[in-house]
Amino acid sequence: MRGGFKIQSRILLNALSLAGLLIVLTTTGCRQDMHDQPKFFPQRGTTFYADGRSIRPQVTGTVARSQGDPASYLHTGMIDGKEGDMMPFAATADVLARGQERYNIYCTPCHSRVGNGIGMIVQRGYYPAADFHTLRLESAPLGHFFAVMTNGLGTMPDYSQQLTPEDRWAVAAYIRALQLSQHATRADIPAGTRVEKLKDIAAREGLPDSFTKPWTALQTAPQTAPQTAPAATPITTPQTASSTTTTQPPATTAATASSTTKQAAAAEHTPAAATSEADTPKPVHTSPKRDVAAGQAIYLKNCSICHQPTRAGMPPVIPALIGIVDKVGEDRIRGVVTTGIPTGKPPMPSFADKLSADDINNLLGFLNTK
């Protein structure tokens, strides 16, 4: 019986492996079509399309996304190698609204809502950001603002990642509107626009008294401040900056915008200060009179020891100051003079306790000369 059992078990084994083989064969047979999927291979032809090409030509009228011609004005802002002074597309009210929104998100931390360069982080010690209401920036072409956003400038980072070219232009247009708003008169407001007094807005929105006072630009603040405390440094006088400048105008813009019917954007951005109490608008930024001779004396006394009486400096250690205003801008110089450059090699000292705001204005008058 022992031998009989062996034979039986061998037959059983054979039967089992045959069944196993059958299962394998039948199941693989089922998957055959999945191994044979019709598809296109890159750079290889096909018989599927009549033209034999597997890569299909673009549908007529296809619009490129996030690309476009990198050499176009939209992307460069340059015309014949110079910053252009026009928009690559129409600055409609929608474009300005978009610009305002983007500006308020990306630029206000440093430039403030009104663009006077004393945003919150500047008040907390960051380099003074540019005041857009200076003669230089008011006469700067639109393409300049586009270029600064695209490439950054000095201590200002670039915004080319955060803002599409279209958005950068929208922000540039909005900055121009901010600038124009400072010289707006009643005549600029379209008929039928609702104009509210600051007092009424403040009462309705429960805003403090300081809201109704006109804001001061970085440049004009010093005149009222004592000589010993150079108010030009927002870092040393955060109270002045916060109570009379940055905090109220945003509310103004917001309140005005929300209470007017959506008219031309220029009217929306008209500072209520100009349209309220006084019928004659007072431009907030008045460029102070500068005494160039006094500025030269200040220069010779304080700066010439390093930057040389001729302003030629001692490159590469001490930079020349000839043409420095065009190169880095007045705001930068103001900042450098008040805070110094402690990280410089050698460091440049701060003149905050030596020079008043008037002194610095006169000094800038001198540095502006050829």
- The stretch near ligand HEC (CB under 6 A) out of 18-26, 146-154, 233-241, 268-276 is 146-154
Burial of residue 273 (CB within 10 Å: 0-12, 13-18, 19+) is buried
Q: Which is nearer to ligand HEC, 292 or 318 (CB)?
A: 318
**Shortest-Cβ-distance residue relative to ligand HEC:** 154
| Least distance between ligand HEC and beta carbon 100 (Å) | 12
Name the residue among 103, 97, 89, 138 with its Cα closest to residue 264. Answer: 97
Radius of gyration of the chain (CA): 34
CB 227 within 8 A of CB 198: no
Q: Which is nearer to ligand HEC, 154 or 250 (CB)?
A: 154
Asked if 349 interacts with ligand HEC (CB under 6 A), we say: yes
Q: Which two tokens stand for residue 126?
A: 């960051």
Q: Which residue in 129, 255, 273, 352 binds ligand HEC (CB under 6 A)?
A: 129
Q: Which is nearer to ligand HEC, 273 or 333 (CB)?
A: 333
Q: Which residues are CB-neighbours of 11 under 8 A, at least 6 positions away?
A: none
Asked if 173 interacts with ligand HEC (CB under 6 A), we say: no
Q: Which two tokens stand for residue 231?
A: 């108010």
- The stretch near ligand HEC (CB under 6 A) out of 5-13, 36-44, 49-57, 149-157 is 149-157
- The stretch near ligand HEC (CB under 6 A) out of 3-11, 38-46, 127-135, 265-273 is 127-135
| Least distance between ligand HEC and beta carbon 217 (Å) | 14
- Could you count the other beta carbons within 10 Å of the beta carbon of residue 53? 13
Rounded Cα distance between 186 and 18, Å, is 99
| Least distance between ligand HEC and beta carbon 69 (Å) | 23
Residues 280-319 that bind ligand HEC (CB under 6 A): 302-303, 305-307, 318-319
Asked if 145 interacts with ligand HEC (CB under 6 A), we say: yes
Q: Which two tokens stand for residue 159?
A: 């915004």
Binding mask 70-109 for ligand HEC (x = CB under 6 A): ------------------------------------xx-x
Rounded Cα distance between 143 and 87, Å, is 8
- The stretch near ligand HEC (CB under 6 A) out of 178-186, 209-217, 279-287, 336-344 is 336-344
Q: How many residues does the chain have?
A: 370
Buried b or exposed e, range 221-230, using 16+ CB within 10 angstroms: bbeebeeebb
Asked if 174 interacts with ligand HEC (CB under 6 A), we say: no
CB 174 within 8 A of CB 99: yes
Asked if 207 interacts with ligand HEC (CB under 6 A), we say: no
Amino acid at 131: D
| Least distance between ligand HEC and beta carbon 45 (Å) | 49
Name the residue among 122, 145, 87 with its Cα closest to residue 218. Answer: 122
Rounded Cα distance between 111 and 148, Å, is 13
| Least distance between ligand HEC and beta carbon 162 (Å) | 7
Contact residues: ligand HEC, CB under 6 A: 106-107, 109-111, 126-127, 129-130, 145, 148-149, 153-156, 159, 171, 302-303, 305-307, 318-319, 321, 324, 328-329, 331-333, 336-337, 341, 344-346, 348-349, 351, 363
